Amino acid sequence: DAKTTQPPSMDCAEGRAANLPCNHSTISGNEYVYWYRQIHSQGPQYIIHGLKNNETNEMASLIITEDRKSSTLILPHATLRDTAVYYCIVRVALHAGNMLTFGGGTRLMVKP
């Protein structure tokens, strides 16, 4: 799986959009971009994933650049409960057996 680079920490004001960047310059054509988060003392929570196109669900939006070398996770209206470590992972997902490899992630602090 391709390596990803994320800033170690970010702050965001409550109610504002949180934009979390991720670089994955060595991504292959069959690798998806996944985002998970881990709130303190909880299990990792799936947020969203995509291959080429931008994706949106009830939690977040995922913007993938045209060359697929970077992406941005957007939490449109951050709340205090969004404070967590956010992990960007690239993974070949053609087969269920490809496990997730977690890096250091970005520690997002949402402040009042």
Whichever of 31 and 82 has its CB closer to another protein, that residue is 31
- Is residue 69 a contact point for another protein (CB under 8 A)? no
Site residues for another protein, window 32-51 (CB under 8 A)? 32, 34, 36, 38, 42-46, 49, 51
What distance in Å separates the CA atoms of residue 41 and residue 38, rounded to the nearest whole number? 8
In sequence order, what E strands does the chain have?
9-13, 18-23, 31-38, 45-50, 55-56, 61-64, 70-75, 84-92, 106-111
Q: Which residues bind another protein (CB under 8 A)?
A: 32, 34, 36, 38, 42-46, 49, 51, 93-97, 99-105
